[in-house]
Amino acid sequence: MRSLDTQLDLPQGWFLPEEGRWYAARAAEAGAGVVVEVGCWKGRSTSFVAPVCRDNGAALWCVDSWRGSRDAYAEDYARLLAEEDVRAAFERNMAAIGCAPTVLAMDSLAAARSFASGSVDLVFIDASHDEESVLANLEAWAPALRPGGLLAGHDLSEKTPGVERGVERFCSARGLNWRRGPARLWHLQS
């Protein structure tokens, strides 16, 4: 079977193959634990980790309101959401790869309250890219991480400066260090 990054039918999205390989490797490190993806869109990034989680017996939770974002791309997302049932596209894309993650179609901050403290091995954040939303997601999801768990995310770029500012504010307030992953990824250990 070909790896997902060589297939021509990856779901529409903004996730590069090298980012997908890195993310899949981190999900593999979680073993049979709990992985949460915040911001799934049509499932492009999810397509890299869902088979790994399925094969390892890990619980994969996918959180997305499918109502758009509050960042500079809000108008673009609103237009795309008006043109297509994006959640249905996500579900079709997961079915196409034989995966059925647990979906929480809700606000990410509310979803974070559904997880017990220290119950999650990996949280991957790719939701609204404005600084305040990034910071709010980090503050909401960090308590759910088990000691040594990984908090990671997407879209470190000049086009989305709020991501780096939010991550930096979160880490500075807690004396934590974050690192860049491949391409536009960031991560930190709890």
CATH code of the domain containing 169: 3.40.50.150
Q: What angle do CA 72, 74, 76 make, to 5 degrees?
A: 100
Asked if residue 5 belongs to a domain, the reply is no
- What is the helix (H) or strand (E) element at residue 62, kind and residue range? strand 59-63
Task: Please report the pLDDT score of residue 72 as a whole number.
Answer: 59
Question: Out of 1-15, 26-40, 93-107, which region has the weakest mean confidence (pLDDT)?
Answer: 1-15
The whole-number average pLDDT for the span 19-45 is 96
Q: Looking at this protein, which amino acid is placed at residue 36?
A: V
Q: List pLDDT tens digits, range 73-125.
A: 667 666 766 778 889 999 999 999 999 999 999 999 999 999 999 999 999 99
Neighbour count for residue 33 (Cβ, 10 Å): 18
Task: Please report the pLDDT score of residue 106 as a whole number.
Answer: 97
Name the residue range of residue 51's domain.
11-189
Asked if residue 4 belongs to a domain, the reply is no
Asked if residue 58 belongs to a domain, the reply is yes
The whole-number average pLDDT for the span 49-62 is 98
pTM: 0.89
Sign of the CA dihedral 142, 57, 8, 12? negative
Confidence of residue 127 (pLDDT cuts 50, 70, 90): very high
Task: Please report the pLDDT score of residue 78 as a whole number.
Answer: 67
Q: Tell me if 105 sits within 8 A of 65, measured CB to CB.
A: yes
Task: Please report the pLDDT score of residue 20 as a whole number.
Answer: 95
Number of structural domains found in the chain = 1
Asked if residue 6 belongs to a domain, the reply is no
Closest CA to 137 of 145, 127, 147: 127
Q: Is residue 9 helix, strand or coil?
A: coil
Confidence of residue 10 (pLDDT cuts 50, 70, 90): low
Q: Which two tokens stand for residue 147?
A: 């000691």
Asked if residue 3 belongs to a domain, the reply is no
Task: Please report the pLDDT score of residue 175 as a whole number.
Answer: 97
Asked if residue 1 belongs to a domain, the reply is no
Q: Which two tokens stand for residue 93?
A: 């894309």
Helix ranges, 30-158 (H): 46-56, 74-83, 86-96, 108-112, 131-141
Asked if residue 150 belongs to a domain, the reply is yes
Q: Tell me if 122 sits within 8 A of 152, measured CB to CB.
A: yes
Asked if residue 76 belongs to a domain, the reply is yes
